[in-house]
Amino acid sequence: MSQHTVIRRVTAPDIRAKKGGDKIVSLTCYHAHTARLVDPHMDFLLVGDSLGMVMHGLETTVPVPLDMMIMHGAAVVRGSRHALVVVDMPFGSYEESPAVAFRNAARIMKETGCGAVKLEGGARMAETVAFLTQRGIPVMAHIGLTPQSVNMMGGFKTQGRRQEEWAAIEADAAAVAEAGAFSVVLEGMAELLAAKITRAVPIPTIGIGASAECDGQILVLEDMLGLSPTVPKFVKKFAELGAAIEDAVKDYATEVRARQFPAKDHVYAMAKPADEKPRVTKMSKTKPN
């Protein structure tokens, strides 16, 4: 009987327990095939609503519907085995009331198989965070630059660069931690403020455009691979796959037009007729001398 290695998925409590310890590593992920590639190296994968911009060409994350998040979330769960999968709750799916948020979060978890959801907002969403966590739904919070509020913020603006902004953002971090969030994303935040919040709250902070002192880091996968045409200042490109893909596509087009592809190795030969199968010759019995 063959034995299969059982891989245990990382859970929300596992992430919570990393506070102040080993750095938490994460990336966004939107489909099964990239999930298979990055999963072994990640603590969690975020199915971010950034997929609306990265995968679907939207200008902001605001138009992303719940069904789109569920479709991509299910794909990432199918393509991964190890990392915790966290799915963003899109704009309009949780702000109305804690009860509406629970209904939609429960649907996300049931239809994707993910292990947690993420929602944006600090003190104003603390009641909802508590409502969800008390009913068995792990919540990752998100404060600082919250992309779903881009219309209120007047754009994607870094938060906390002025000292007078700090108190409200620190209060947001404290509120979501007290409400039961197992971690909090700090996005687009002044480095000193992010470092201070990391030292102050009892849950892990996940930085994106924040501080190296955060308990973990996350980037948009397509940004760090060099697939996005433009990236924010805080992104380091660990590869330039966009140029490599364009070169490969150019070579393909050239070979097709030159009638070099497909070559003999890339096509199928005709099957041999049944009557051309090799015949087995019976050996005649020889008489004894």
Q: Does the pLDDT at position 15 exceed 80? A: yes
Total domains in the chain come to 1
> What pLDDT, on a 0 to 100 scale, did the predictor assign at position 277?
61
- Residue 175, domain member (yes or no): yes
| 287 in a known ligand binding site | no
Q: Does the pLDDT at position 73 exceed 50? A: yes
- Tell me the pLDDT tens digit for each residue of 134-193: 999 999 999 999 999 999 888 788 999 999 999 999 999 999 999 999 999 999 999 999
Give me the percent of the chain exceeding a pLDDT of 70: 93
Rounded mean pLDDT of 18-23?
98
- Residue 73, domain member (yes or no): yes
Range of the domain at 217: 12-240
Catalogue the E-assigned strands of the chain: 24-28, 44-47, 84-88, 116-120, 139-144, 183-187, 205-208, 216-219
> What pLDDT, on a 0 to 100 scale, did the predictor assign at position 286?
53
> What pLDDT, on a 0 to 100 scale, did the predictor assign at position 174?
98
Q: Does the pLDDT at position 1 exceed 50? A: no
- Cα 14–chain centre separation: 18
Q: Does the pLDDT at position 205 exceed 60? A: yes
> What pLDDT, on a 0 to 100 scale, did the predictor assign at position 156?
83
CB proximity list for 221: less than 8 A, separation 6 or greater: 27, 28, 29, 30, 34, 38
Rounded mean pLDDT of 211-230?
97
| 88 in a known ligand binding site | yes
187 is catalytic: yes
User: What's the rounded Cα separation, in Å, for the pair 236 and 232?
Assistant: 9
pTM of the model: 0.91
- Cα 154–chain centre separation: 26
- Residue 275, domain member (yes or no): no
User: What's the rounded Cα separation, in Å, for the pair 144 and 170?
Assistant: 10
Fill in the amino acid letter for 19. Answer: K
| 118 in a known ligand binding site | yes
- Residue 41, domain member (yes or no): yes
Helix 126-133 vs helix 98-112: crossing angle, to nearest 10: 50
Q: Does the pLDDT at position 6 exceed 80? A: no
CATH number for the domain spanning 159: value is 3.20.20.60
- Residue 89, domain member (yes or no): yes
Give me the percent of the chain exceeding a pLDDT of 90: 89
What string of DSSP letters covers 149-167?
Answer: GHHHHTSS--B--SGGGHH
Q: Does the pLDDT at position 275 exceed 80? A: no
> What pLDDT, on a 0 to 100 scale, did the predictor assign at position 211?
96
| 251 in a known ligand binding site | no
- Residue 189, domain member (yes or no): yes
Q: Catalytic residue among 59, 111, 170, 187, which?
A: 187
Q: Does the pLDDT at position 287 exceed 70? A: no
Burial class for 129, CB neighbours closer than 10 Å (0-12, 13-18, 19+): buried
- Tell me the pLDDT tens digit for each residue of 231-243: 999 999 999 999 9
- Residue 259, domain member (yes or no): no
Rounded mean pLDDT of 200-207?
98
> What pLDDT, on a 0 to 100 scale, did the predictor assign at position 285?
56
Rounded mean pLDDT of 270-286?
66
Higher pLDDT, residue 5 or 72: 72
| 120 in a known ligand binding site | yes
Q: What are phi and psi of 117, to 5 degrees?
A: -120, 160
Q: Does the pLDDT at position 125 exceed 80? A: yes
- Residue 252, domain member (yes or no): no
